[in-house]
Structure formats: structure tokens, C-alpha cells
Amino acid sequence: MLTLASKLKRDDGLKGSRTAATASDSTRRVSVRDKLLVKEVAELEANLPCTCKVHFPDPNKLHCFQLTVTPDEGYYQGGKFQFETEVPDAYNMVPPKVKCLTKIWHPNITETGEICLRMSFGD
């Protein structure tokens, strides 16, 4: 299946072979993922509840971030749970990879921290 991100990469590869290989990183085309994330990160930060904090280890890489959740009610109240998120290049066609860094028992989180993001919809 051809996605927009893969088409852009292929076009960049063809264009790069025809032009000088001296182009710097700052002049490269911005990926579709990065264009989407600029808007979505602003929305994320504006809409996060007070029990959640987002942290970008490298502010220039919006596709890699950490989320800390400190529930103030329910079974997990008082806990502090850290998640690591990586958004792939094919984002919007491929979901982000999320990993729980905190040891926790939850039906959707494996012992190694992988998170099941599958959603099933009615037939």
C-alpha cells in the first residue's frame, strides 16, 4: 500500500539523486508526521488533565515524548506511571508505539510494558 509518507520519501530520494548531495538537514522537506505533530502537540498540551504531564527530552523531536500520569482517584490513586511514546514516520496510517516504563498490572499492558492499542469496532 502506498502512503503519503512513503511517496514523499521516495520523491525526496529521486530528487536527492539528481541534485548535489550537499543539502543540509535544515533544508530537507518536513515530513507529513512532523507537520501533523506540530498542531497535535499543541492540542495535547492544552487538553491534558492536571494529573498528566508531557515531557519532550529533545524539543526538536516531537515524535518522541514521555507522559507521566498521577491518578487522583480510583484503584491507581497515588501512583505515578510513566509512558514513552514514539510516533512512526508513517503516522496517521500507523499508530504510535507506546510503552509503559512503570511496572504495573493492567489487562492491556504486558509484563515488558507493551501496550495494546487495538480497538475493535462493531461489524
Q: Which residue bears the cell 499508530?
A: 95
50 is catalytic: no
Q: What is the DSSP string of 10-25?
A: HHHHHHHHHS-TT--G
Catalytic residue (one of 50, 64, 100, 116): 116
DSSP 27: G
Grid cell for residue 72? 487522583
Name the residues annotated as catalytic. Answer: 116
